[in-house]
Structure 1
Amino acid sequence: MNNFEPEAVTQYPEPLAGSYKPEDCLFLLKPVAADYRSIEDKERLIQQGSLHYSQMIHRESEPSATYTDLFYSMLSAYKSRLAEQVMRLAVEITQRRTGPITLISLARAGTPFGVLLNRALTQHFGLKSNHYSISIIRDRGIDSVALDYLLSKGYSPETFVFIDGWTAKGVITDELKKSIAVYNEANKTNIPAELFVISDIGGTADVAATYDDYAIPSALMNSTVSGLVSRSILNDQVGDTDFHGCVIYDHLREYDLSDWFIDQITAEMSLDRIAPLLEVPREERQLITKGFLSDVMREMQVSDINRIKPGIAEATRVMLRRVPDLLIVQQSGHPDVAHLERLAVEKSITVIERSDMPFGACALIRDVLEMRSTNE
């Protein structure tokens, strides 16, 4: 039952669809004016503590033809596997919820999977499902105005299902649990804080389809497979009654593959092909991940764990959106890391091979403050 009574906000902002069909996804995000920073400038401001990463954004450029070809190659190789894993998550959702489902994907890595799960639940399981994508930001929490909006629309908190694409160190898992606990206490609600993901390489999510680290196709791209929406922004353009912000990358519209990507995976989904249940205990994956992170911090003399991004998906983010320092791959030349090795060549980043690594790849963010101090 939903006993939510909004105290301050009576007129909520309107959702936006990005480049998705409205029945597939509505973003509870506010378009804001873009004050683009270079990736290097953004990294410096983050590391010196002048600005939080959520206060800044860089202008995404169109993917190169070579890189796009790698995306097509990975999609061809893994679309059936991904479809089976989406169906596994759909099964898990049906076993943990009754009645209508309210899918809440965490923008934007979780957004395509929210769209896919919405289609799986409605088309293959005959359930009523609605999908919204909302913001959650490390150290800032989940967008409480977005949660207010959903409750004000009559969605029962017991139907909420939080979706992300992948997780490794568990930063977003922890942020979600803390944020929802605070929200429930303040609003006398009982929203479940479970996180459902496709790939849980660190064993930190509540429900996952796989622990495998592989090149999930959507992780290779940015907004062009995520509705042309940027990652979420929380700066002075976002008021207390606003949704968290975003930038719509209209300049990339001719390169947009968001709907096409969804259709490709949807075509592979079937009740006859569902990924098997996980057999390895989640705690085992957690121990393996913690041990690896400790080793890397010691061996590479890294004092800030936030500079270490394990997993192919997170390493891809570093190579595209941060200032990378080093790329570690489990097996050089493996198709799953071809796009990463390509980016490393383009950015002149050293690549080392580590066969005992429990992930396909791991990237280190450069300590730009130390580099600047050395240069001075």
Structure 2
Amino acid sequence: MSGIRTEEIMNKRITPPVRLGSYPPADVTFLLKDLSRVSLERATEERERAIQSGVHYSEMLPVEYQPTAQYIELFHETLQQSAGKVALAVAVVSEIIVARRGKGAVLVSLARAGTPIGVLIRRYIAEIYGWEFPHYSISIIRGKGIDENAILYILQQHGQDADLQFIDGWTGKGAIRKVLIEACDRLHRKYGIRLNDDLAVLADPGHCSGTFGTREDYLIPSACLNSTVSGLMSRTVLRDDLIGPDEFHGAKFYKEWLDTDQSNVFIDSISPYFAGAAAEARRSAMDMLDSPPEITWQGLRDIQNIQQTFGIEDINLVKPGVGETTRVLLRRVPWKILVDTMDNPNLRHILLLAEDRGVPVEVFPGMTYSCCGIIKPLKGESE
């Protein structure tokens, strides 16, 4: 890296972060501008119409779904049933990170689905190894890229050779994985920074990541809820009239929901299983490091098949996997839900949400995913 570029990175003025989110400060630092006082939410149908008419999804927010008592009960039941499984996946990913990167890593989770996973990975490494890794949560947006100011801020804090490990919750068709690869290439061209674009996820049903806990498409309980399991943070926002050249991408902190926040409940329910998972996780991690799993992008091919079968013009209307299907039901206008089988135990909350919203469910066998949500195309309808 040239001296001029190094100076540019280390001296660029960036507005420092403010305290955000409901996690303890040691768990994560959100590199996001606080937009809590800005009215950004739009009703689901209105937002869907805007997105499909060309307005970028990052310029507005969905109205946050307030789960029913029955749905919250299902979240807790699922969390209780899957805590050990999630802990093992966290442990496998953490062991791979430790083996590859040693003590010097900086954890960088992608807001917001990556944030609770980053907190869990940080907690595991602290408990098992006694290493207190710094952990930041930053914005990455399909079609717009990663928050460069957030990356530069991290390098200013930890040195230009800091070893960043990117973290997300799960993979769908691999869109964010592609954005991350492109963003790292752009940072190298622009600043001479060479970042490792590896994306660590708990579940990789899309077969597009090399660092994962499992490739099974199962319900990670944090996918059940929105802000109330992600530190009470909204999705990230990027609009020129709200975000200045020296600022981070924005988000809202929903302080008003502190009484119903499940973010730390989620973390505290899984953490007790770490010690018991460590030995098995270490064996799995070593197996994966000795024989790296193939990245085939099979999930993307499955989605292209679904797109062709149902005559869907825009691939972005097809949202594969348990996590993405949950998001479709919570904040988009669903057309139909495809499932591999109706008796898949991973899909109870999907079926509950679909029933609640009156969305038809169809069996579509042969997917690498447990399920797939299809957003209703709205173009062509009368205004």
How far did 1:2 drift? Answer: 11
- Per the alignment, do residues 280 and 159 of structure 1 end up closer, same or farther by CA in structure 2, a change over 3 Å counting? closer
* Alpha-carbon separation, structure 1, partners of 2:292 and 2:70: 37
How far did 1:84 drift? Answer: 0.7
Provide structure 2 residue ranges, at least 5 long, that are not aligned to the other structure.
none
Q: Which residue of 2 aligns with 1:25?
A: 28
User: Which is richer in helix?
Assistant: 2
Q: Tell me if structure 2 keeps the 8 A contact 1:34–1:247.
A: no
* Alpha-carbon separation, structure 2, partners of 1:211 and 1:274: 15
Q: Secondary structure at the match of 1:161?
A: strand
- Per the alignment, do residues 253 and 358 of structure 1 end up closer, same or farther by CA in structure 2, a change over 3 Å counting? same
- Per the alignment, do residues 199 and 130 of structure 1 end up closer, same or farther by CA in structure 2, a change over 3 Å counting? same
* Alpha-carbon separation, structure 1, partners of 2:23 and 2:2: 29
Q: Tell me if structure 1 keeps the 8 A contact 2:187–2:194.
A: no
Q: Which residue of 1 aligns with 2:179?
A: 175
What is the letter of the counterpart of residue 238 of structure 1? I
- Per the alignment, do residues 10 and 290 of structure 1 end up closer, same or farther by CA in structure 2, a change over 3 Å counting? closer
Per-residue CA shift, 1:52-73, capped at 9, x if unaligned? 0000002314211111111111
How far did 1:348 drift? Answer: 0.9
How far did 1:95 drift? Answer: 1.6
How far did 1:355 drift? Answer: 3.1
Per-residue CA shift, 1:147-183, capped at 9, x if unaligned? 1111111345442100001012111011001111111
Q: Which residue of 1 aligns with 2:294?
A: 282
Provide structure 1 residue ranges, at least 5 long, that are not aligned to the other structure.
none
Q: Does 1:368 align with 2:372?
A: no
* Alpha-carbon separation, structure 2, partners of 1:104 and 1:248: 19
Moved more, 218-227 or 198-207: 198-207
Q: Does 1:313 align with 2:313?
A: no
Per-residue CA shift, 1:117-175, capped at 9, x if unaligned? 11111221222311000000001000000011111113454421000010121110110
* Alpha-carbon separation, structure 2, partners of 1:90 and 1:35: 36
Q: Which residue of 1 aligns with 2:44?
A: 39
What percentage of aligned pairs have identical amino acids? 36
Q: Tell me if structure 1 keeps the 8 A contact 2:336–2:375.
A: yes
How far did 1:326 drift? Answer: 0.4
| Number of residues of Structure 1 aligned to a counterpart in Structure 2 | 370
TM-score for both structures, normalised by structure 1: 0.93
* Alpha-carbon separation, structure 2, partners of 1:328 and 1:126: 44
Q: Which residue of 2 aligns with 1:242?
A: 247
- Per the alignment, do residues 198 and 340 of structure 1 end up closer, same or farther by CA in structure 2, a change over 3 Å counting? same
Q: Tell me if structure 2 keeps the 8 A contact 1:112–1:226.
A: yes
Q: Which residue of 1 aligns with 2:77?
A: 73
Q: Which residue of 2 aligns with 1:63?
A: 67
What is the letter of the counterpart of residue 25 of structure 1? V
After superposition, residues 144-155 of structure 1 pair within 5 angstroms as 144-155=148-159
Q: Which residue of 1 aligns with 2:15?
A: 12
* Alpha-carbon separation, structure 2, partners of 1:128 and 1:150: 16
Moved more, 273-282 or 96-105: 273-282
Moved over 3 A (4+): 1-4, 6-9, 155-158, 277-281
Q: Tell me if structure 2 keeps the 8 A contact 1:2–1:154.
A: no
Q: Does 1:257 align with 2:262?
A: yes
Q: Does 1:272 align with 2:279?
A: yes
TM-score for both structures, normalised by structure 2: 0.92
Moved more, 302-311 or 247-256: 247-256
